[in-house]
Structure 1
Amino acid sequence: MPTVKLLKSGIDVSLAENSSLCELDYVVQPDLMFGCRSAACGTCAIRVVEGLDNLSPKNEAEEHLLDTLCINDETHRLACQCKLSGDVAIEALED
């Protein structure tokens, strides 16, 4: 099972392969918050520190919102749009 390391709290969470990072919502509040879960609000914006290749590619909706938030680069993602295929280390963006 892939592991998601939450750098802010130091918590490691194992999730099944191909799981959505939305599943973290039930274990890690308030480290990572989720709002709309549809790439419309940006609440779950994260920086991927390790394992970027272990997340699904960005879709059009995610690209658009990250552009709007001025954080569309290689390391920033919306956790609600990410599917997991291996280990990652992430940190939620500060408000």
Structure 2
Amino acid sequence: MSNLCIISFPGSDFAPITLECHQNLSEYLTIQNSPVLFGCRTGICGTCLVEVIGEISPPKLDEQEMLDTLAPYYPHARLACQVDLTANVEIRKIEQ
């Protein structure tokens, strides 16, 4: 199993990014390389709300409470700053 994860952004003009697994997305995704924006980077502002398609661990309780409020109709919604990358994923920005 590879220790690299590919993050792709379908439906956007951004090229895929390769990171080591378990890297914090908020430290590597920028306005120059992804459609994902970050505010607080701690999971309380909701700025980095995205839809994630791929194998990732489920959200922790605090993140789930935010997701229930911000994106109740998106089953794959996550806060990008809280995602633990363990495999290749696709990320789409959720417009609020």
Short-chain TM bin: 0.7 to 0.9
Higher strand share: 2
What residue in structure 1 maps to residue 80 of structure 2?
A: 79
Identity of paired residues, percent? 32
Q: Distance in 2 between matches of 1:72 and 1:20?
A: 25
User: Are 1:20 and 2:21 matched, yes or no?
Assistant: no
Q: CA deviation at 1:70?
A: 3.8
Task: List runs of 5+ in structure 1 lacking aligned partners.
Answer: none
Aligned partners of 1:66 and 1:72 also within 8 Å: no
> How many equivalent residue pairs?
91
Higher helix share: 1
Kindly report structure 1 stretches of 4+ aligned residues shifted beyond 6 Å: none
Q: CA deviation at 1:88?
A: 0.3
Task: List runs of 5+ in structure 2 lacking aligned partners.
Answer: none
Residue identity matched to 2:47: T
Q: Distance in 1 between matches of 2:47 and 2:21?
A: 24
